[in-house]
Amino acid sequence: MKLLTSTRLGKLHLHNRVVLAPMTRNRADAAGVIGAMTVRYYAQRANAGLVITEAVNISAEAKGYPMTPGIWSAEQVEAWKAVTRAVHAAGSTIVAQLWHTGRVGHSDVRDGRLPVAPSAIAIQGQQHFTPTGLKDYEEPRALTTDEVRATVDDYERAARNAKAAGFDGVELHGAFGYLPNQFLVDACNQRTDIYGGSIANRARFVLEVMERLVGVWGEGRVGIRLSPTLAYNGMVDSDPLATFSYLIQELNALPLAYLHLMRATPDAARFPHWPKDTITAFAPLFNGATIVNGGYDRASAEAAVTDGAAQAVSFGAPYVANPDLVRRLEVDAPLAVADRSTFYGGGERGYVDYPTLEGGAPPAARGYWLVQATVGDPSRFAAYTTVAGPLIASFGGRVLARGDVAEVVEGEVPRRPYFVEFPSYAAARSCFRSAGYQDAVALRAGAAHFDIVIVEGLAPPPSGA
């Protein structure tokens, strides 16, 4: 399948063309800091050629939803390092999706402050998710021109932080009616300064942000997500073909990694003047690589990459319930259906507990296995590895390095990766099961020609330690 072959999006190398679509899962803490569970969630899905994170707030001001992560504080940046490290260890590439929710928020999740937007126009006909239930949208406060400029600065700072956190690039969330999208669409941008009015003025904010992101990241490491024909969050432009064609043509002046384009949903039929096929209307206008998204399955994704419509396809809901999606596409296995009730918020259930394919042939071992262990009692880490050493040896394994990668501390629990070489997948798996680890997840890193096992869970030292 062409979908499983490697490709390049700018400077991003993908070992297959399957992309983990950005998905907000509301599992950060109140300070916008992600924890070990989120590291595990991304590691489980790092079989994708490219991992795009959930939308990440660029500033406290950008936040619109409870328990969503940020990338403005040192603590948040530190926490993301564990994710980038785990995804890289699995041989994949990861970009952070940069988010400002604009008017899609509520004062209940913003310490009493009203959401901000290009103009003081509230979303009609929808309600917002708050800690105390669904609420009508409030009229947002219109940003001053100086505040718009300061927001562009916030994006730049977030882009720098993403670099510090070890990401391979960033994606501007320009879709689904969040702040950049609000500037583009005339229904909600009625500004009279240089950021409103003509198409060129409405596109100015997005283009300024993109220039800054490229300024930080350089060539081929910045992408943008657009949904020209999605009316969600009140994104009803009078002429999306003209607006988004202009924007894409201007984006061509920047050395971007990719354009991430959403297909229309059936709802678009309500707007007869909109383009019927978003991908054929807009993708050809872009000079670089395109990722397409929206309801793709194995056959339609393969068709999209073979007929040249896109270089890669991103999967959202299918990746929630199928952490080993690439493997399932490879062997044409049935896909599990995601439980929507656990999409947003909660704990491990519906997040990191979806099983991998049962009974599928284990990947052939060709090299090293990365093991990331969590040891309950920090003082026992040395004892633990001393004990685990002979156990690993008894399964034919050899510890190559341990404890040499900066650890992440979550509460009192240090997480120290170490590298172990096993003669086979079966030996590795048996060893970890015997060692009392939980949840061995096999990930395949095709391009690097080795298979990786990331094992996490509480592992009390074997008896006698």
Which residues are the active-site residues? 178
Q: Which of 37, 303, 317, 391 binds ligand FMN (CB under 6 A)?
A: 317
Token look-up 């959403």 returns: 262
Tell me the closest approach of the beta carbon of residue 316 to ligand FMN, in angstroms. Answer: 3
Q: Among residues 60 and 317, whose Cβ is nearest to ligand FMN? A: 317
The type of residue at 10 is G
Q: Which of 228, 294, 350, 446 binds ligand FMN (CB under 6 A)?
A: 294
Cα–Cα nearest to 408, from 20, 54, 33: 33
Q: Among residues 40 and 416, whose Cβ is nearest to ligand FMN? A: 40
Tell me the closest approach of the beta carbon of residue 437 to ligand FMN, in angstroms. Answer: 28
Q: Which of 35, 288, 316, 346 binds ligand FMN (CB under 6 A)?
A: 316
Cα–Cα nearest to 82, from 439, 399, 448, 415: 415
Give strand ranges (E) for 298-375.
312-315, 368-374
What six digits make up the tokens of 141? 């406060």
Q: Among residues 189 and 314, whose Cβ is nearest to ligand FMN? A: 314
315 binds ligand FMN (CB under 6 A): yes
Tell me the closest approach of the beta carbon of residue 402 to ligand FMN, in angstroms. Answer: 35
289 binds ligand FMN (CB under 6 A): no
295 binds ligand FMN (CB under 6 A): yes
349 binds ligand FMN (CB under 6 A): no
Cβ–Cβ under 8 Å, residues 294 and 265? yes
Tell me the closest approach of the beta carbon of residue 98 to ligand FMN, in angstroms. Answer: 10
Tell me the closest approach of the beta carbon of residue 171 to ligand FMN, in angstroms. Answer: 8
Q: Among residues 176 and 244, whose Cβ is nearest to ligand FMN? A: 176
The type of residue at 41 is Y
Q: Among residues 137 and 315, whose Cβ is nearest to ligand FMN? A: 315
Cβ–Cβ under 8 Å, residues 320 and 20? no
Tell me the closest approach of the beta carbon of residue 253 to ligand FMN, in angstroms. Answer: 24
- Give the C-alpha separation, 24 to 261, whole Å: 18
Q: Which of 129, 232, 271, 343 binds ligand FMN (CB under 6 A)?
A: 343
54 binds ligand FMN (CB under 6 A): yes
Burial (CB count within 10 angstroms: exposed 0-12, middle 13-18, buried 19+), residue 226: buried
Tell me the closest approach of the beta carbon of residue 299 to ligand FMN, in angstroms. Answer: 14
The separation between the first and the last C-alpha atoms of the chain, rounded to the nearest angstrom, is: 49
Q: Which of 24, 84, 233, 278 binds ligand FMN (CB under 6 A)?
A: 24
Cα dihedral 320→227→101→32 (10° resolution) = 30
Q: Among residues 216 and 226, whose Cβ is nearest to ligand FMN? A: 226
Cβ–Cβ under 8 Å, residues 224 and 199? no
Q: Which of 220, 318, 446, 461 binds ligand FMN (CB under 6 A)?
A: 318
Tell me the closest approach of the beta carbon of residue 338 to ligand FMN, in angstroms. Answer: 7
What single-letter DSSP state applies at residue 458? B
- Give the C-alpha separation, 95 to 54, whole Å: 10
The stretch among 43-51, 133-141, 313-321, 379-387 that binds ligand FMN (CB under 6 A) is 313-321
Other CB atoms within a 10 A radius of the CB of residue 5 amount to: 14
Instruction: Report how many residues bind ligand FMN under the rule CB under 6 A.
Output: 21
335 binds ligand FMN (CB under 6 A): no
Q: Among residues 39 and 98, whose Cβ is nearest to ligand FMN? A: 98
69 binds ligand FMN (CB under 6 A): no
Cβ–Cβ under 8 Å, residues 312 and 289? yes
Per-residue burial over 46-76, b = 16 or more CB atoms within 10 Å of its CB, e = otherwise = bbbbbbbbbbbbbbebbbbbbbbbbbbeeeb
The type of residue at 177 is G
What six digits make up the tokens of 415? 């997480």
Cα–Cα nearest to 17, from 289, 283, 344, 207: 289
The type of residue at 219 is E
The residues in 243-272 that bind ligand FMN, with binding defined as CB under 6 A, are 262
By beta carbon distance, the residue nearest ligand FMN is 316
Q: Among residues 213 and 262, whose Cβ is nearest to ligand FMN? A: 262
The residues in 83-122 that bind ligand FMN, with binding defined as CB under 6 A, are 97
Q: Is 417 helix (H, G, I), strand (E, B) or coil?
A: strand
Alpha helices in 109-237 (DSSP H): 145-164, 179-184, 199-217
Tell me the closest approach of the beta carbon of residue 455 to ligand FMN, in angstroms. Answer: 26
The residues in 172-191 that bind ligand FMN, with binding defined as CB under 6 A, are 173, 175-176
Cα–Cα nearest to 176, from 61, 254, 260, 96: 260
What six digits make up the tokens of 11? 């400077």
Q: Among residues 351 and 395, whose Cβ is nearest to ligand FMN? A: 351
Which residues contribute to the site for ligand FMN (CB under 6 A)?
A: 21-24, 54-55, 97, 173, 175-176, 225, 262, 293-296, 315-318, 343
